Structure 1
Amino acid sequence: MDRLTDKPDWRRKVFDEDIVQRWRSEVVAPQDLRPDHHARSQGFTPEMFDYCIRELRDKARDFVDEGIVLLYDVDAGVAKSDSLVSEELKQDLRAAVRPLEDVPDKYKDWHPGSDNRVLDLVHPSLFPLIYDCTHILPEKSVTLENCLRLCGSGEPAEFKPIKETNEFYSWEYQWLPAELAFTDDEVGVKFTSYINNLHPCRHEKLYAAIERIAAKAVPLWSVTLGSFYSPRNRVPVNETIYEYDYPGQNKSDQPQDHVNLEQEPEPESTEERLQRIQEEQIAEYDRIQRSRRLVLPQPQDYEPRDKPPFFNLRQKFIEKGLQVIVKLANIHLTPEKPKYEGGSWHVEEMLNEHICATALYYYDCENVTDSYLSFRQKIDTSDEDGLAEQNDYEGVEIMFDIKQDEPGIQDVGSIKTQEGRMLAFPNVFQHRVAPFKLNDPTRPGHRKIIALFLVDPYCRIISTARVPPQQKDWWADVVRKEGAVPKLPAELLEYVVEDVEWPMSLEEAKEHRLKLMQERTAFAGTVDDVFEEDTFNFCEH
């Protein structure tokens, strides 16, 4: 269904019977060409195709105005749209980002460890909230208008862990979200506090563009979070069923009509007889196993469904607004460095940040091959109890694409990350960027994204509404322009700026970023361990 919804004008095509029949011929394999002879109807069957088309027709009717389609929606789903963001907004975003890109090489912030392939334009790991260090104010009093004047004010943030042994919390750092308010026009949003690492005066146009992008992300988040309220069970499975073939015996296997005394075997001992019977039973069992075929379950009869639940963020949080963490990053490839190796499996981010969903918008792709974002999730390994006989679990492995003694992880699927596409997904999925490379290896290429991380609206965290900007250079600009240190010669003023301990210098912030990255690398490993330690064991029942 993901591939079909990538086709232009798919909402019309899915109702065109001629086109649907062509898709059927491309997808449904003839019975004798299906790949696994151990499983009857292995592969994509006519019943599966019919079910998918009927569901796609329902999806084509859903969220037509928003251009959103919900995919991989079993327990939760991934929402995508190629039309939410207009061409005009995409170009406005590109233009507004350009001042961050057009800087001398010495000021470019290449992500540590990326070999100058990943360029951070706005990244929440720089100047994060540092517990017992970052200065905060007792209540929300930092706004876009006064944030620069408040640089350096406040008191160091004290932090007392709720659960000292919880390894998924960070006791050192927290990404800082900005406050996002809903406007009165029923569609717009407005930042009421600054985006961390994005100067509110120097980049007013970028603030405006990001607000428009965030407004488009809200319905996507509402759809993907609403998917939790409508789980789907398309193919009920309660047992494994086999068909058996019993081929006729060869003539040489038939009993003889006479007895040849010269061929009469020697009498068997009891031990030999038991050994022979056991070997015959094993041979018979192996023969039956080779001849049987797994009957794969087919989808249940499709029943038209209501539009998926829409977790209306605007309606539910119209008064409080949302908290959103912003990231802007480019991946640059060159003839000397023509390939991006892909990312690692991860979730966003530490538990004390309470990120519940992510929105990604791919606004510029040039001279790179198709790239995909893959998803996987942890599943309950006990759910398969009773589906297999003792030590006979081949059918369960085939049906669920799982393996005995392997981790309880389900690969959900992948979605193409093409230019102009916006995705949103809940933070229950691990996700990973697949590798990609230059299309034309003689020319440079790039892929540019904006990521918006939604903080759980029911569990708000310290934001930039309480944290004055920590960047020393922002504070220094205010000091120089407003004469906060009056009547000092320029040389002495620069000495004061250099000597002050707070706000934080860029060099110190980068040191903290490395520590934060080390902490989160360890965290990602811990999450992987949790995902992989629970394995399938079909013998324990």
Structure 2
Amino acid sequence: MTDPCLCNDGHASLKVPGFSDVPLDLEIYPQNRFTHGATEWAQWPNLTARELAMLGLMNDLTEEHGWHKNIFDDNLMVDWRMHALSRPLISPKAWDWCLAELQDKALYFEQTGNIVVFNTGAGIVKSDAVAEMIQTELRDAAKLLEADEKAPRQQVVLNLVDPSLFPLVYGRTRVLMDSGRVSLDSTINSFGRGAIVLDIPPGYFRPRRNVRRYPSWSEEVTPRATNSDDERWSARSQWLPCEVDFINNSGTDVRITSYVNNLHPIRSRALYGTIEKLISQSIEPWNQILIKQNRGHTPIRIRTYGVEPDNERPKWATWDNLRKLESDRSNTAFKEAVDEIKEYLALPEKLEGREGDQISPTWETENGGLSKALYTKWKRLRTWRHPEPGTAFSFDDWKAGRAGKTIIDRKIDDPDFNTCHNF
């Protein structure tokens, strides 16, 4: 599917969302761009609570100084294991998996200085690869910006380059609509050029019944009801991104070709070069986590579509057996069953004040009362067994992308169920 023809090169009329009859909410088709999390990407299948705990543990351990070397120290791992098992939902099997995965991550970290954490479909890259020189340049530039900042010093967060300060405002901001561009070198001389943009961007209001995520440009413009998708767009203002070009046909070196909003192009010119270096170093990590459509980089570690109870009902307390005992309440077997059920009903419940069905005070004499009382208590005692990693597939299978097997199958077929991921 072909994307609409947009233009922002300065050689022809500006055609970008919100200008020149291009609807504000127009998006490039998903197969031609990276997926965003606003309305498209969602983790599926959902992660289990245990896998979330494993992800949190691995993230915390990679914050330890020298973790990538310590993870291969068997003696030190005895202590790490003890502390890990004290965390909620970290079982011995979960620890074994985390240890194996962290050792793999450590080898990659040694080569690149990067590590991907919270990696399921998407992920987060943490890096120690930013050169000390760049870090120093950033700190020095931040000090200069702080000196110019007029905000109260007690402010907890200081937005030194705030994108919401002096954004593009519809009906007030001048824009080069016909042609031309504001380069980094001509920023100051461009003041006053261009035409004031419309008060309301084109295509902002659409009939609710015709709303499409990727609308055509010919839809009738009429008011529509507010919905969650509309909240991503503003008819009042837009942040202003800067333009960045690759310097060469290969490699990751880039150059900022327009001004960064609220960052002075002359006084802070040195900082522009530092930002370019940061962007260049970020491209390869971005490649590790940005995804297209539903093609995630990493399969989930525990795949299940159901849970199992952690405790079973007493084997002797079958429905048929209890009904048979109730047919003659005078015999010894009935009285023994009542005594056993009373002991069962007296068991402490893990969740105090748990809501649910109440046990009838006359359950001993009611028809079917034995089984009803027993079942009600079992439901109140019932907890769910958290599934373990390594049950449906091994760590090595997971690494190879062979992670389609489930602990408990789903009842409805999923066309993406057996999608094979590799990383």
Query: Given residue 150 of structure 2, which amino acid in structure 1 is its aligned partner?
Result: K
More strand by share: 1
Shift of 1:289: 3.4
Is the CA contact (8 Å cut-off) linking 1:122 and 1:197 kept in structure 2? Answer: yes
Partner residue, 1:90: 135
Q: For residues 271 and 78 of structure 2, what CA distance do their matches in structure 1 show?
A: 47
Secondary structure class of the residue paired with 2:160 = strand
Q: Provide closer, same or farther for how the CA distance between residues 162 and 85 of structure 1 changes in structure 2, counting only shifts above 3 A.
A: same
Q: For residues 373 and 274 of structure 2, what CA distance do their matches in structure 1 show?
A: 71
Q: 1:121 aligns with which of 160, 170, 173?
A: 160
Question: How big is each residue's C-alpha offset from its partner over 1:381-413, in whole Å with a ceiling of 9 and x where there is no partner?
Answer: xxx9869xxxxxxxxxxxxxxxxxxxxxxxxxx
Q: 2:275 aligns with which of 192, 207, 210?
A: 210
5 Å-filtered alignment, 1:59-458, equals 59-62=105-108, 64-81=110-127, 83-103=128-148, 108-109=150-151, 116-137=155-176, 138-158=178-198, 159-164=201-206, 165=224, 166-184=230-248, 186-226=251-291, 229-242=296-309, 243-244=311-312, 246=314, 255-256=331-332, 276-289=366-379, 294-300=384-390, 301-303=394-396
Is the CA contact (8 Å cut-off) linking 1:58 and 1:304 kept in structure 2? Answer: no
Q: Provide closer, same or farther for how the CA distance between residues 171 and 293 of structure 1 changes in structure 2, counting only shifts above 3 A.
A: closer
Query: Given residue 12 of structure 1, which amino acid in structure 2 is its aligned partner?
Result: K
Is the CA contact (8 Å cut-off) linking 2:305 and 2:410 kept in structure 1? Answer: no
Shift of 1:59: 2.0
Q: For residues 134 and 87 of structure 1, what CA distance do their matches in structure 2 show?
A: 39
Question: How big is each residue's C-alpha offset from its partner over 1:354-402, in whole Å with a ceiling of 9 and x where there is no partner?
Answer: xxxxxxxxxxxxxxxxxxxxxxxxxxxxxx9869xxxxxxxxxxxxxxx
Partner residue, 1:26: 83
Shift of 1:155: 0.8
Secondary structure class of the residue paired with 2:126 = strand
Shift of 1:151: 0.8
**How many residue pairs were aligned?**
279
Query: CA RMSD, aligned part only?
Result: 3.7
Is the CA contact (8 Å cut-off) linking 1:63 and 1:69 kept in structure 2? Answer: yes
Q: For residues 247 and 254 of structure 1, what CA distance do their matches in structure 2 show?
A: 23
Shift of 1:177: 0.5
Question: How big is each residue's C-alpha offset from its partner over 1:228-262, in whole Å with a ceiling of 9 and x where there is no partner?
Answer: 5324221122332234263999xxx99449x9xxx
Q: For residues 376 and 279 of structure 2, what CA distance do their matches in structure 1 show?
A: 60
Is the CA contact (8 Å cut-off) linking 1:135 and 1:152 kept in structure 2? Answer: yes
Is the CA contact (8 Å cut-off) linking 2:301 and 2:398 kept in structure 1? Answer: no
Partner residue, 1:12: 69
Query: Given residue 288 of structure 1, which amino acid in structure 2 is its aligned partner?
Result: W
Is the CA contact (8 Å cut-off) linking 2:125 and 2:285 kept in structure 1? Answer: yes
The percentage of counterpart residues that share the same residue type is 29
Is the CA contact (8 Å cut-off) linking 2:308 and 2:385 kept in structure 1? Answer: yes
Q: For residues 64 and 183 of structure 1, what CA distance do their matches in structure 2 show?
A: 28
Structure with the greater relative contact order (CA < 8 A, sep ≥ 6): 1 or 2? Answer: 1
Is the CA contact (8 Å cut-off) linking 1:109 and 1:120 kept in structure 2? Answer: no
Q: For residues 65 and 182 of structure 1, what CA distance do their matches in structure 2 show?
A: 25
Shift of 1:307: 9.3
TM-score by length of 1: 0.46
Q: For residues 205 and 105 of structure 2, what CA distance do their matches in structure 1 show?
A: 43
Question: How big is each residue's C-alpha offset from its partner over 1:149-205, in whole Å with a ceiling of 9 and x where there is no partner?
Answer: 111101112330255443431111000001112233834321110111111111112
Secondary structure class of the residue paired with 1:196 = coil
Q: Any unmatched runs of 5+ in structure 2?
A: 1-57, 207-223, 225-229, 318-328, 336-361, 402-408, 413-423
Is the CA contact (8 Å cut-off) linking 1:126 and 1:197 kept in structure 2? Answer: yes
Query: Given residue 69 of structure 1, which amino acid in structure 2 is its aligned partner?
Result: I
Q: For residues 99 and 285 of structure 1, what CA distance do their matches in structure 2 show?
A: 70
Q: Provide closer, same or farther for how the CA distance between residues 254 and 50 of structure 1 changes in structure 2, counting only shifts above 3 A.
A: farther
Shift of 1:54: 1.6
Q: For residues 68 and 307 of structure 1, what CA distance do their matches in structure 2 show?
A: 21
